[in-house]
Structure 1
Amino acid sequence: MAMSTEPIGSIPRPPELLAAMRSHASGEIDDTDLGKAQDEAVRDTIRRLEGIGSPVVTDGEQSKPSFATYPLDGASNLASDGAVIPFADGHQRQLPRITAGPFRYRVHAERYLRAALRHATVPVKQAVIAPSALSLLYPGAGLDGYPRERFLADLADEAEADIRGALDAGAHLVQLDFTEGRLSLKLDPSGGVLDDFIALNNAVLERFTEAERARIGVHTCPGGDQDSTHSLDVDYVELLPKLFRLRAGAFYLQMAGESRPDRALAVVADHLPEGARVFIGVTDPIDPRVETPDEVCERVLAAARHVPPDRLGTCDDCGFSPFADDTSTSRETAFAKIRARVEGTALAARKLGV
């Protein structure tokens, strides 16, 4: 069969949608008008991905406020002064903080998937946020009457429902976004926080059957926001062995932006779980230069020296616009990079005979 190639998630929003979002925030248009703009952006995203020849598509996260905070949209038990994520260029993102329990998702990813399925003629992949990321919402000082243990139990239930809803609605694959994995090693080089993240995510993944986990993947990268990263300086070799302890059927790894990909790929070869597939990033969303299909092909062939081609696929390193206000990469550049990924993967597959 042909080598698989898949997008990770977000695509830069079109100007019309960004304008509609601003108008909605200012009260100039209502929810219905915003919904129409979002649906048109989803339709156009899927149409363009299919036109490029992408065998699997996403909705481009056009309707999400961000890849991380979509479950919280409209929640009333939040404060704005949560955990701060610093990026290498000096800018920051700040998560909210829960102020009271119980913790519940206000929005589940199934909503986005069903909207995308109305427009797609090929399989649709659905990205969800990993429970480990949302565990950062709980304040370090604790909450009266709502201990951390109860919060984590509620979070695990909600994360399971988020994944299961998308699987039941017909997702080709549900992808957990785990960008906080590499970041955790920057915050805690001992690996204790990473161990806690892995344990929490596995507590959710182990609720699914082996057949269901074959349709669940995990994506990791060093962050990619406003053309900067939060943890690229953390040695990938410190993350990958533990990452592969996750009970998932597929792994999506940033690799195009890695300075020593062969070293990381050797670790992948040593630790990739039996039966799992690995998708290697072959385009770098924070690099403004568009890769050529030949460059993509060479990256695939390099990966195939470590991983058997029948267990290998390709992807983008990360989403192109994980937060709705990130306009550092144009929509046209994103689609040009995706085209190079699709064409370069096909070229490599022919050379490898798969």
Structure 2
Amino acid sequence: MPIPTEPIGSLPRPPELLNGLAELAAGRISQADLDVLTDRATADTIQRLEAAGSPVVTDGEQRKPSFVTYPLDGVPLAADGVVIPFADGHTRQLPRLTGGPFRYGTFAVSYLTKARELATVPVKQAVIAPSALSLLYPADGIDGYPREAFLADLIDQAEQDIRQCLDAGADSVQLDFTEGRLSLKLDPSGGVLREFVQLNNTVLDRFSADERARIGVHTCPGGDQDSAHSLDVDYTGLLPELFTLNVGRVYLQLASEPDPEKVLAVVAEHSRPDQQIFVGVIDPIDPVVETAEQVRDRVLVAARHLPVDRLGTCDDCGFSPFADDTSTSRDLAFAKIQARVAGTELAGQELGA
């Protein structure tokens, strides 16, 4: 079988959709008008992914306000939540939960269903990991809604988010876990990371072994506006804990790592035989399009550490995780994806896959 290759999630939105989002915010168009633009962007995204030869596609998160906040429609929130600093000095701020019970306002299956109507190949669906949403709960608590009750609600909602996608025919469901590496920056002792993994496993343990084979986790140092929030955190502090997550697929940022062989040695030591490892061979932040030969060579390096039948490729991160991130052009993203597909095929031919 060929080496599998998959996108991670977000792709830059076309200018028409970005303009529509601004027009909606200004009250000059209706939500129905924006939905037309979003439908067009989603169709174009899937068409271009298929044209690039991608054997599995996503909707490029054209409908999500961000990879993390999509469930929060109608949830009681304040704006002053956890602040995430990036290396270039810009920040993103999560909202703060102000009341309960916690319920998703939007489930990811709504995106999946629309994408599957348009695609002619399998569709994967990214969902936010419950550990990321646990950051919504304030440190000083909420009167009448203790943290234990919130976490119980969050676990139920996260299970529903994943299960609906599996039941609706997703080829796989990918948990976005960018906060994993970030947690080691906030707490170098690893205590927060262990809490995150335990919370995520509480959700994952509700699924059967066959279902978990279709569930994956993606980790990266955060990519937004051509900057990262935790690339300076040593991967070796994250990976041993990461591979204790009860998932069948692991999507790893690797192309932007300064020492990929060091990382791969740790992956080989700690990953389980039943886990498919998708290594990042495309750096979404780098403005230079990788060649197919560069991608091939990155796969060949990974194949020195991992069995070929457990190896896959992916992009390091999504290209536009927040709706206002325009740092990468749409054409550049698709050119990089085409290089990933072509380079993975070249590697497969050389490895006899």
TM range, smaller chain: over 0.9
The Cα offsets for residues 286-341 of structure 1, whole Å up to 9 and x where unpaired, read as 11111000000000000000000100000000000000000000001000000000
Alignment of 1:241-252 (within 5 A): 241-252=240-251
1:57 aligns with 2:53: no
Partner of 2:320: 321
Q: CA deviation at 1:30?
A: 1.2
Q: CA deviation at 1:74?
A: 3.5
Q: CA deviation at 1:181?
A: 0.1
Q: TM-score, normalised by structure 1?
A: 0.99
1:266 aligns with 2:265: yes
Aligned CA RMSD, in angstroms, stands at 0.5
Partner of 1:37: 37
Q: CA deviation at 1:273?
A: 1.1
SS of the aligned residue for 1:287 comes to coil
Q: CA deviation at 1:8?
A: 0.1
SS of the aligned residue for 2:143 comes to coil
SS of the aligned residue for 2:41 comes to helix
SS of the aligned residue for 2:238 comes to helix
The Cα offsets for residues 252-283 of structure 1, whole Å up to 9 and x where unpaired, read as 00000000100000000011112110000000
Give, in whole Å, the separation in 1 of the partners of 2:184 and 2:110: 33
Give, in whole Å, the separation in 2 of the partners of 1:210 and 1:303: 26
Partner of 2:4: 4
Partner of 1:300: 299
Q: CA deviation at 1:73?
A: 2.5
The one-letter amino acid paired with 2:143 is D
SS of the aligned residue for 1:162 comes to helix
Q: Could you list the runs of 4 or more consecutive aligned residues of structure 1 that deviate by over 2 angstroms after TM superposition?
A: none
Partner of 1:91: 90
Q: CA deviation at 1:29?
A: 1.3
1:191 aligns with 2:194: no
Partner of 2:68: 68
Partner of 2:47: 47
Q: CA deviation at 1:108?
A: 0.1
Partner of 1:102: 101
The Cα offsets for residues 214-257 of structure 1, whole Å up to 9 and x where unpaired, read as 00000000000000000000000000010000000000000000
Partner of 2:347: 348
The one-letter amino acid paired with 2:289 is V
Alignment of 1:221-240 (within 5 A): 221-240=220-239
SS of the aligned residue for 1:118 comes to helix
SS of the aligned residue for 2:159 comes to helix
The Cα offsets for residues 101-131 of structure 1, whole Å up to 9 and x where unpaired, read as 1111000000000010111000000000000
SS of the aligned residue for 2:118 comes to coil
1:148 aligns with 2:147: yes
The one-letter amino acid paired with 1:295 is Q
Give, in whole Å, the separation in 2 of the partners of 1:195 and 1:272: 17
The Cα offsets for residues 201-226 of structure 1, whole Å up to 9 and x where unpaired, read as 00000000000000000000000000
Partner of 1:123: 122
The one-letter amino acid paired with 2:335 is A
Identity of aligned residues (%): 69
Alignment of 1:274-289 (within 5 A): 274-289=273-288
Partner of 1:201: 200
SS of the aligned residue for 2:340 comes to helix
SS of the aligned residue for 1:159 comes to helix
Give, in whole Å, the separation in 2 of the partners of 1:177 and 1:140: 23
The Cα offsets for residues 2-51 of structure 1, whole Å up to 9 and x where unpaired, read as 11000000000000100111111111111111111111100000000000
The Cα offsets for residues 63-99 of structure 1, whole Å up to 9 and x where unpaired, read as 0000000000343x10000000000000000000000
The one-letter amino acid paired with 1:254 is Q
The one-letter amino acid paired with 1:20 is G
Partner of 1:26: 26
Q: TM-score, normalised by structure 2?
A: 0.99
Give, in whole Å, the separation in 1 of the partners of 2:285 and 2:148: 38
The one-letter amino acid paired with 1:46 is I
The one-letter amino acid paired with 2:347 is A
The one-letter amino acid paired with 1:57 is V
Partner of 1:330: 329
Give, in whole Å, the separation in 2 of the partners of 1:229 and 1:278: 22
Give, in whole Å, the separation in 1 of the partners of 2:132 and 2:259: 27
Give, in whole Å, the separation in 2 of the partners of 1:210 and 1:140: 35
SS of the aligned residue for 1:176 comes to strand
Give, in whole Å, the separation in 1 of the partners of 2:35 and 2:91: 29
SS of the aligned residue for 1:274 comes to coil
Give, in whole Å, the separation in 2 of the partners of 1:306 and 1:274: 13
Alignment of 1:165-180 (within 5 A): 165-180=164-179
Give, in whole Å, the separation in 1 of the partners of 2:286 and 2:74: 34
The one-letter amino acid paired with 2:186 is L
